[in-house]
């Protein structure tokens, strides 16, 4: 069991790399999409809508297959565009699919967060004479982030697990190694339990981190700290002696 666990851990760096890169890049793409969606310009709005519709409406597995095996059939065209170096490597294909997929979900989470900021608060801030930048920094973003965080935490957890799909395009991350070990030893239960435990630990860390962040961002939901009663210095020193 311990040996299995160590073997599976060899896949952990790749799992982490895929998760971290896709979540980070996905967030950037998602911000752009959310901005387009809320820009009020029909062309941008509809592009973002179509993007979200396609990437949220099709299975990630299909997207990975399409990007890897599908585009693989257009090698001459991709070579002409100098893109083959990118699409040749399974790692970049997996990363691209994961990023595009998570961006669709996260853009909707961001939009939800931004739209949840009460109008009254924005108007109040304007009435106080806040500049648009200050308005975003002090009012809109803090509230939007607080609202979006639970949903975003969910998405990160889903991404940690989604990296396991990269194993179907020859990436040897935790699940890929698990499959390989099973076919060598035929001990499916033990190996899948170990692999499951690794994802569980990863997601435990993720949920704790999100929880800590949520805690930090919502001081208004907690009771005000009770001030500690100060002892009279004279009495306390008197007791000491």
Query: In terms of CB distance, is 1 or 54 closer to another protein?
Result: 1
Query: In terms of CB distance, is 62 or 205 closer to another protein?
Result: 62
- Residue 90 as a binder of another protein (CB under 8 A): the answer is yes
Question: How many chain residues are in contact with another protein, going by CB under 8 A?
Answer: 19
Alpha carbon 130 to its chain's center: 32
Q: What are the tokens at 84?
A: 């083959």
Q: Which helix (DSSP H) or strand (DSSP E) does residue 82 occupy?
A: none
- Residue 83 as a binder of another protein (CB under 8 A): the answer is no
Rounded Cα gap, residues 108 and 49, in angstroms: 10
Among 28, 53, 85, 88, binds another protein (CB under 8 A): 88
- The answer to whether 91 and 171 are in contact (CB under 8 A) is yes
Among 44, 182, 193, 217, binds another protein (CB under 8 A): 182
Closest of 66, 70, 40 to residue 55, by C-alpha: 66
Among 57, 120, 127, 186, binds another protein (CB under 8 A): 186
Rounded Cα gap, residues 108 and 236, in angstroms: 59
- Residue 53 as a binder of another protein (CB under 8 A): the answer is no
- Residue 168 as a binder of another protein (CB under 8 A): the answer is yes
User: What is the CB-side half-sphere exposure of residue 213 using CA atoms within 13 A?
Assistant: 15
Residues engaged in binding another protein (CB under 8 A) = 69, 72-73, 75, 84, 88-90, 168, 170, 172, 176, 179-180, 182-184, 186, 188
């Amino acid at each position: 069991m311990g040996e299995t666990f160590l073997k599976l851990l060899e896949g952990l760096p790749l799992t982490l790399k895929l998760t971290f890169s896709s979540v980070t890049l996905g967030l950037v793409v998602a911000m752009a999409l959310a901005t387009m969606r809320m820009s009020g310009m029909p062309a941008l709005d509809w592009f973002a809508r179509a993007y979200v519709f396609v990437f949220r409406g099709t299975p990630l597995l299909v997207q990975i297959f399409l990007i890897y095996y599908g585009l693989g059939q257009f090698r001459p065209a991709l070579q002409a565009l100098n893109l083959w170096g990118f699409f040749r490597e399974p790692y970049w294909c997996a990363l691209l699919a994961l990023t595009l997929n998570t961006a669709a979900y996260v853009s909707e989470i961001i939009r939800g967060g931004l739209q949840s900021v009460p109008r009254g608060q924005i108007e109040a801030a304007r009435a106080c004479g806040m500049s648009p930048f200050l308005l975003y920094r002090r009012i809109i973003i803090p509230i939007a982030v607080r609202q979006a965080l639970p949903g975003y935490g969910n998405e990160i957890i889903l991404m940690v697990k989604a990296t396991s799909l990269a194993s179907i395009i020859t990436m040897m991350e935790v699940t890929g190694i698990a499959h390989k070990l099973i076919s060598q030893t035929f001990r499916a239960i033990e190996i899948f339990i170990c692999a499951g435990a690794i994802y569980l630990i990863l997601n435990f860390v993720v949920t704790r981190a999100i929880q800590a962040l949520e805690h930090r961002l919502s001081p208004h939901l907690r009771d005000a700290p009770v001030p500690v009663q100060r002892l009279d210095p004279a009495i306390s020193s008197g007791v000491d002696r």
